Structure 1
Amino acid sequence: MNDKLIQSQKRLHDSLFELYMQGGLELFQAGTRGLKRELIIQLETSALTPEKGEIIHYYAVNRWDYEDEFDEWAKPLRPLTAEAEKIIGVTNAQLAHCRSGNAVLVDFLGFISECERYPLKS
């Protein structure tokens, strides 16, 4: 057998074995949706430092299921500066119609800790 083909088959075998060891076989058999929940979280603030700003954008998405997503803006307690509006790309007028940061935070925390749907591992 061709030496390159043998090496290629060995690499394929090793890759499949590693995927199997990491739970890839289960992912492959069940499909990725609903089997695992690994969240990518992004928070955006109204200023460069926590002392001066607050979280105004809450975003999280399950890397295995893009329909499992939370994306909501919050109305800040203090209006954004003109400089912050330019950097963030949203205006005070756009945020005026949003819910308060506390209300959004409660829903966000509920989303990221959906224990019924995604039980915590022991």
Structure 2
Amino acid sequence: MNEKLIQSQKRLHDSLFELYMQGGLELFQAAARGMKRELIIRLETSALTPEKGEIIHYYAVNRWDEEHEFDEWAKPSVALTAEAERILGVTNSQLAHCRSTAVVLDDFCEFAEI
């Protein structure tokens, strides 16, 4: 392993130990969760191809912190077909009370820091 990386890891270890000594286990765990942020993202569209539909389900979770999650359905601008309802397992009446795709997309991008 290269020396620069070893020194960086040692500084990180020392910093986390210092947090633990000053703030206890709770502060240490909060810092450890913040060290890594890798999002697992799943999107579902309102049609069988992205060209014909729009994203109506936005889901993302931090691989290292399951409490850091975004999960929201959006109301499509065009109603789902019966086939899309069957495949997705959600109906137009269930999506009728959701926020618009544009609003959900803005919040999703903020969550994902895009």
Same fold, TM-score > 0.5, yes or no: yes
Cα drift, residue 103 of structure 1: 0.1
Q: Which whole-Å CA distance do the structure 1 matches of 2:50 and 2:86 have between them?
A: 19
Q: Which moved more, 1:89-98 or 1:105-114?
A: 105-114
Q: Distance in 2 between matches of 1:93 and 1:71?
A: 19
1:52 deviation in Å? 1.2
- Equivalence for 1:4: none
Distance 1:64 1:77 in 2: 34
Give me the identity figure in percent: 70
Highest CA radius of gyration, 1 or 2? 1
Residues 4-35 of structure 1 show CA distances to partners (whole Å, capped at 9, x for unaligned) of: xxxxxxxxxxxxxxxx8xx6x85x96544121
Aligned match of 2:44: 44
Give the TM-score taking structure 1 as reference length.
0.68
Aligned-partner SS, 1:75: coil
Instruction: Report how many residues are paired.
Output: 91
Q: Secondary structure of the equivalent of 1:98?
A: coil
- 2: CA distance between counterparts of 1:104 and 1:59? 11
Specify which structure has the higher proportion of helix. Answer: 2
State the partner residue of 2:89: 89
SS at match of 2:74: strand
Q: Structure 2: where are the runs of 5+ without partners?
A: 1-5, 18-27
- TM-score under structure 2 length normalisation: 0.72
2:59 match:
59
Q: Deviating runs (4+, > 2 A) in structure 1?
A: 28-32
| Alignment correspondent of 2:79 | 79
Deviates more, 1:42-51 or 1:53-62: 42-51
* Structure 1 position 77, deviation (Å): 0.5
Unaligned runs of 5+ residues in structure 1 are 1-19, 115-122
By how many angstroms is 1:74 displaced?
0.3
Give the RMSD, CA atoms, in angstroms: 2.1
**1:92 aligned partner, one-letter code:** N
Amino acid at match of 2:60: A
1:28-69: CA deviation from partner (whole Å, max 9, x where unpaired): 965441211000001000111122110000000000000000
